[in-house]
Structure 1
Amino acid sequence: MMRHLRSIMRITWMDNVSKKEILELTGLPSLEDLLIRKNIRCTGHLMRMSPDVLPKQVLYSQLSSGHRKRGRPRLRFNDTIKRNLKLRDIKTDTWTSLK
């Protein structure tokens, strides 16, 4: 995406223009911003589903047995949801009741 924006605006890498400056000039959101928005939208769809639907059951389920590898634990989907909600200044304790 950035390569195409640079070519449209005729900015080379030698011009020393950062990605943030290019996005501000074009008025476009960053790729991270788009992914966070899509994640929150998908989560909203999950929250509106009935409790007996499989995707919602998987969201709230926990493993009863198993082992983890050494090192830092992998992020769960719920962890990424909470991180994205904090980035958008949405309270994580009441996000399930928001419409």
Structure 2
Amino acid sequence: MRMSPDRLLKQVLYSQLSSGHIKRGRPRLRFKVNIKRNMKLRDIKTDSWTSLSQHRDKWRAVVK
């Protein structure tokens, strides 16, 4: 039984993928990177923010 010609694996093996393109420029920033930048601006330690955010009262005091 042969693989059908429209299967992705066969298209990759024979370089028949022409519909895609490679984006130019720098990669998009992840959500976590943006959060860390904002926290540095607010002078919040980025190494312990996950544990700090689980305690609502402490977190509210730091964020204010």
Determine which structure has greater relative contact order: mean sequence separation of CA pairs < 8 Å that are 6+ residues apart, divided by chain length: 1
More helix, by proportion: 1
Alignment TM-score, normalising by the size of structure 2: 0.44
Pick the structure with greater CA Rg: 2
Alignment TM-score, normalising by the size of structure 1: 0.30
